[in-house]
A and B are shown apart, each in its own frame.
Chain A
Amino acid sequence: MATSELFTLIDGDCVTSLRATIDGDALRIAPDVMRDATGWELKPEGLCQGDLCIPVRDRVALADARGVDLAAFARAQGRPLALDIAERAAALGTSAAERSARLATLEAPDFTLPDLHGRRHTLSAHRGKKALLIVYASW
């Protein structure tokens, strides 16, 4: 029996609590909730975010009167989805195609992270210098 529940969607830095319908192992979200949470909506042209539209092969699997199926939504974009219905939470990641393509440009992806004092630093602020990025850990 389908139930309406609060669900947590993690997408990078963005953690959104949204209302979803849980129906067995399917998670469905109302189209306007999907749009507000992710910026994506299903239009005649396909699955769109602003001016970008992805053609959708199986519109019925993606969305019907019950809402947008989150797993089908992720598949339509080639994005990984770690879904845990029991925990009412999911994490949506970046597609391998997008990550690979971006790395292949050889442009160092920009990021902003805090130091020990909580001050935030952005990589691109150091343009004009040679930067050595050292990724390490205490483990």
Chain B
Amino acid sequence: MWQAMYQELGSHGFVPITVALDKDPEDVRPYIERASPTHPSLIDTQHVVAELYHVINVPTMIWIDEQGRIVRPHDSQFGTDTFTAFHGKHSAPYLDALRAWVREGKGVLDPATVRGHQIQPTPETQLARAHRALAWWLHQQGRVEAAERHFLRAGELAPKDWTIRRGSMPIRGINPMGLEFFELAKEGVPLYPMEELPVEGGTSRKMS
């Protein structure tokens, strides 16, 4: 559906850039091919973007302005209402806010507010990412038991990072929608500080 937003807003100087934190391009091929995007639709098997931006769950949305500055930080928002019953968020207000940003420059947060709503990496979360990187390499080498130790260590160091705790499940042969995930979910979904700044609601505009 980001392709639809791109078609609607592209001429206003907007580009969605999707980044999949999947272990294999083939895992997201069906979704990408169905969407047939003409915007960048990228695969990040090594979690480069997760580390650079300190992403702890998906989906995570970040607004970057024309000068390459973050003007709205990590927000767990959704482009559709497919899972609204699970997470309670409606996509329409967010998409309207996006339109208002692109068309009218609205909704940009001042630097102090952006900084105040960024989560901070810690020595533990950074060490977790190093263990994850080692686990990934070991897995690629076929050293499954050693990889498992480091995925688990990464999860211990960063229990609130679902890019590690849930993201590693498919690599480890665990269903990320199954029992282990439901157990993980009982700990509570990791939240970004942007939760306290709900997107301004409004009547959903018809796409022009």
Contacts and interface: CB of A to CB of B under 8 A. Distances in A.
Interface of A: 8, 10, 12-13, 15, 78-82, 84, 86-87, 89-96, 99-100, 103-104, 106-111, 113-116, 121, 123-124, 126-139
B41 A96 contact: no
11 contacts: A80-B127, A96-B122, A103-B54, A110-B68, A121-B40, A126-B15, A130-B66, A130-B102, A131-B14, A134-B17, A137-B20
Nearest to B174: A139
Contacts, number: 217
Contacts of A13: 46, 48
Contacts of B159: none
B143 interface: yes
A20 to B, nearest CB: 15
A80 B126 contact: yes
A111 B49 contact: yes
Nearest 5 interchain pairs by C-beta? A93-B130, A139-B176, A80-B127, A91-B134, A82-B130
Given A82-B133, A121-B40, A134 B146 contact: no
B137 A10 contact: yes
Q: Is the interface of A mostly helix, strand, loop or mixed?
A: mixed
B114 A116 contact: no
A96 B65 CA distance: 25
B43 A115 contact: yes
Given A136-B19, A137-B22, 12 more contacts: A80-B130, A103-B121, A104-B115, A104-B118, A107-B69, A115-B42, A130-B14, A132-B17, A132-B63, A134-B16, A134-B79, A135-B44
A111 B52 contact: yes
A113 B29 contact: no
Contact of A132 (B22, B33, B98): B98
A106 B167 contact: no
B92 interface: no
B27 A138 contact: yes
Interface string B30-61: 01110000001111101011111111001111
A51 B65 CA distance: 33
Contact of B64 (A87, A100, A104, A133): A133
B146 A84 contact: yes
Nearest to B31: A138
Contacts of A110: 68
B150 to A, nearest CB: 6
Nearest to B65: A130
Contacts of B54: 99, 103
A130 B64 contact: yes
A93 B127 contact: yes
